[in-house]
Structure formats: structure tokens, C-alpha cells
Chain A
């Protein structure tokens, strides 16, 4: 059979975000796949060198459009490390609750994308509706639905308003009460297991050699989660478990996402019970004249896609000297994708790509 070259390009109904893959196919099987990023490259790290430390906060949350809060956390933690700022206890608890709500919203978005691509339209509509309920909470707390700019060096921007804790509990109860319906229609459905079992299999040695973290690694049986390896915020104050699966294919990765969502909801309830009173931010120096001492810092956290890190260099001035984000979609979308697509059929390209949980703006920055 002849070998053809196809473009699974940026305008395609199965592609989430602007990303392109060049496929060399023979019949229905893929012989070679080449990833083609760069459609969303803005030169972020160069833009941040022209703006002062505080002016960079609205810019840094737009690197990952689906889940912007972990980027703000990384930048705030790195600036606090360089400038020696302390964060009060109540702010650490509020940061953890905020980040777990963001993780639930991001996983519901991923469930919409995956179910839509497989053809389960009902579950896609439910997931997007429940995500909108969580975005209503964000809008009441911070003023914006998607870009919040809430985490600040020295704490968080403002405290919970009156009656907000009951609203969080009610929203999460109404979402959690629908989990048996989700299981019946999607997760225990025989069509889902026929389409996803054995597809896109990544073994543990391959994942470790290619630099994978997050769900790709947890679906092979290793409990690698930065919230347990190097705890930050208030994650070491409450007991919780890291969900894993054993097989390493697309089916296990989606089940790990479902288990993580449920674990996040339980964690929010435990954190709300244990949260102390107090103030929520320490004052920073005058932001127009803030100069941070020279040095470098590397911080890392667990975003909803894997290990997120930031390397920040300051030369004693009022602007950063070098900023470099280590995003989790970079190895997943470039090295793991090219290896996993060999030998699969064309109909499964979207299936594998969304189950690897790649977000295109994170690769290009």
C-alpha cells in the first residue's frame, strides 16, 4: 500500500486548541507522527522581562488558559522565595481550597473534551454545566470567570465574603450527588471500555525515560504527586490519598482523572473544617519601587496535568531577568505523543491526544 502524508491540522473537530500533527499513514495505520507546535507562541518569557514584578501578574495567568491558578501560585511562590516574604496561615488554607476548586473545574473541562470527541454528547453537556457552577463561585470571590489574579505574593487578595463557605459546600454537594449518574452513563459504559482499553499504552519505564509526570505516570502505578513529595500550601495538614491505576492505557488515565476529582472534593471539605481565623495577606513594599535582591529560585507544584515548575532569575532590579516555566504538557505533547502514536489507527488520534491531557498553550508559551 502507498504511504500518504496527512495533516491533522489546527482546524479540526477533534483537536482541542491550536496544535497540529503531521502523520505518515499506510492504509489506516500510522507509521510516523511529527508534532508541530508554535501556533500559540507569544514569546511570554521575553515579554515578562519588560514589565515590573507586579505588572507581570495579569500576564502570567494567561499561559495556560484552561487552568490559570497554578501559574499565579508558581510566580508568587518564586517571588516570595527571592524577596523573603512570609504567608499567613489562613492564606495557605485559602490557597489550597482555591487550587482544588480550580482542579475540579479543569478536570470537568477535560471530561467535556474527551466525551465530545468519543460521541457521548449528554455527558459532555453535563460536565460543562457543572463546571459553570464552579465558575460562578470564582466570579463571586474574585470578580472574573476565567482569569482571577487572586494569589498575590504575601497571601491572597481578599478574604471569603459573608456566607461563601455554605455556597461552596452546597455547590460541591450538588455536583457530587450526580456522580452515580456519570458512572452509569459514561464510566461503566461498555462502549467507553471498548474504545479506550489497550489504546495508547505507555509502560512505566517509557514514561520515566521520556520525562512524563501527572496522570500519564500515575496510570502506570507510581504514586508520584508533588503535593506529597514536596508539600506546599496546606496539603500536609489533612490526610488524603493519591489515586493510581495499573495498566497505563487511555482507559486508566480517564479513571485516574475521575478519582482525582472525587478526592479533591473530599479534601475541600476537610480543609474547610480545619481553617483557622486570621489575616489573609502580609503587606508588600511599594509596588512602584519594588526591587528584589539578586538570586535565583526554582519552585514546583502539581497542576492538574502534571509537574509544573518555574525557574526565576533576578539581578537586583525592578524587572525579572529571566523567567522559564517548565510546563507538564511539554514532554507529553512532544516526546510521548510521537512515540505512542506509532501503529495506532487514524480514528484514535484524538482519543490518545486528549487522554494524554495536553493543552496547547502550555507547550508554546
Chain B
């Protein structure tokens, strides 16, 4: 199953790298311009469940890595095949200094809260998102909190420990 999808992908998109690291997982490394077309292609092949959009901060290499994980719903109500067991992981890299990317909401409707969360915790701007306002955080931070150069313990010392106790 994974090998047939791998061959179809390589024939449609000539310069991506596809590998099968283990059973039931398919990993695709793509350039940032091709991600939306790969996602639409896979959605037409019935991989319609976007499970997760995640982000990793590689500070030494000065890049962010965006990860999209897809899987398939059941086609027939009581048949469990190899197609539903497969998880496709699509990875791409964007530069860390001016991070921005295209929103995938036109393809997958449920990507909206994932992109809001990545925007407020990492600082990446998604163009085309209808509502890029804070989701969890109550205030603005100088460095977005999940980046590797934000030091948790120093922040706690600076803000919370300076308040005097009453007695």
C-alpha cells in the first residue's frame, strides 16, 4: 500500500523525497511551495482526515519545521483495510527570521484552531487565515513562549517572584 502511494507521488511531484521509515508510516519532505498541492492531491485520493498540524523549532539551523499528519476515514462501514492504517507525515521547512506561510483552510476546514495556536506560541504568520487572534494566552510576550530562546525559569523569577507577600 505505501509503496503504491509512493510511486504515484513521485510520478506526480518530481522533486520531493518520500520514504517509508516503518510499517504504516509514510514520510514526505517537501518544499514550502508544493505543500498545498500535495495536500489537495492526497485529499482527492480520500485521505480526508487532518489529524495534526505541528511545529518544531530548530534554533541552531535557524529554521522552523511545519508538520502535517493525514489519515483516512473508513470507506465501507465494516471493512478495515491497509488504507486506514497508514499515516502520512508531510514536513517542510521555513526560515526562522521572517516566518510566514499559507493557510491550508481552503483544503481542510478544521485547520483553523491549529494555525491560531502555532501563531501565538511560535510567531508564524499564516496569510489567508480569517481570524488570527490569541487562543490560549492572556498577554503578549516579547519572544513567543514555545521558542527555544524563551527561558521559562528566568521569566518566573522576573515576573512572579518580584511580587511581595502581604503580611
Interface, chain A (partner B; CB < 8 A)? 37-38, 41, 43, 45-47, 50, 208-211, 213, 221-224, 228-230, 298, 300, 307, 309, 311, 313, 321-322, 324, 326, 330-331, 334-335, 364
Q: From residue 57 to 110 of chain B, which have CB atoms closer than 8 A to chain A?
A: 57, 67, 69, 73-74, 77-78, 80, 84-85, 87, 89, 108-110
* B128 neighbours in A (Cβ, 8 Å): none
Q: A50-B152, A229-B80 are in contact. Are A309 and B73 (CB under 8 A)?
A: no
* A229 close to B84 (CB less than 8 A): yes
Task: Name the distance in Å between A356's Cβ and chain B's nearest Cβ.
Answer: 14
Q: Which residues of B contact A331 (CB under 8 A)?
A: 110, 113
A50-B152, A211-B50, A313-B56 known; A229+B85 contact, CB < 8 A: yes
Are B51 and A326 neighbours in the complex by a CB distance under 8 Å?
A: yes
Least CB distance from B124 to A in Å reads 15
- Interface stretch among B5-13, B31-39, B132-140, B157-165? B132-140
A326 to chain B, nearest CB (A): 4
Is there an interface contact between A223 and B74, defined as CB atoms closer than 8 Å? yes
CB–CB B49/A221 < 8 A: no
CA distance A168 to B80 in the complex (A): 32
Does the CB pair B49–A298 fall under 8 Å? Answer: no
Q: Which residues of B contact A (CB under 8 A)?
A: 24-25, 48-52, 54, 56-57, 67, 69, 73-74, 77-78, 80, 84-85, 87, 89, 108-110, 112-113, 134-138, 145-146, 152-153
Do A38 and B138 form a contact, CB below 8 Å, given A46-B145, A324-B52?
yes
Given A41-B137, A331-B110, 11 more pairs with CB closer than 8 A:
A37-B136, A38-B134, A50-B153, A213-B49, A229-B80, A307-B51, A311-B69, A313-B56, A322-B57, A330-B113, A335-B109
Measured between alpha carbons, how far is A143 from B13 in the docked complex, in Å? 55
- Docked Cα-Cα span, A331 to B110, in Å, equals 7
B50 and A311 form a contact (CB under 8 A):
no
Complex contacts, B108 vs chain A, CB 8 Å: 211
Q: Is the interface of A mostly helix, strand, loop or mixed?
A: mixed
Task: Report, nearest first, the 8 A-B pairs whose CB atoms are least far apart.
Answer: A211-B110, A38-B136, A41-B136, A326-B52, A334-B113, A324-B54, A322-B56, A229-B84
A364 adjacent to B136 (CB under 8 Å):
yes
Q: How far is the CA of A211 from the CA of B134 in the complex (A)?
A: 21
CA distance A232 to B84 in the complex (A): 15
Contacts of A300 in B (CB 8 A): 51, 87
Contact B110 A298 (CB under 8 A): no
Contact check, A43 vs B145: say whether CB atoms are below 8 A apart.
Answer: yes
How far does the Cβ of A202 sit from chain B's closest Cβ, in whole Å?
13
A311 to B53, CA, bound (A): 10
Closest to B109 in A: A209
B112 and chain A: residue at smallest CB distance: A335
Given contacts A224-B74, A309-B52, A326-B52, is CB(A298)–CB(B136) below 8 Å?
Answer: no
Whether B109 lies near A298 (C-beta < 8 A) is no
- Cα A229 to Cα B109 in complex, Å, equals 24
Q: In the complex, what residues of B have CB within 8 A of residue A223's CB?
A: 74, 77-78
For B137, the chain A residues whose CB sits under 8 A away are: 38, 41
B51→A335 contact, CB < 8 A: no
Minimum C-beta distance from B64 to chain A (A): 11
A245 to B90: give the CA distance in the assembly, Å.
34
Question: What's the nearest-Cβ distance from chain A to residue B71, in Å?
Answer: 8
CA separation between A211 and B48, bound complex, in Å?
9
The answer to whether B48 touches A208 (Cβ under 8 A) is: yes
**Closest A residue, CB atoms, query B91:** A296
Contacts of B85 in A (CB 8 A): 229-230
* A21, chain B: closest CB distance, angstroms: 14
Q: Chain B: which residue is nearest A311 at the CB level?
A: B54
CB distance from B108 to the nearest CB of A (A): 8
| CA A326 to CA B136, docked complex, whole Å | 16
Residues of chain B with a CB closer than 8 A to A221's CB: 77
CA distance A311 to B13 in the complex (A): 26
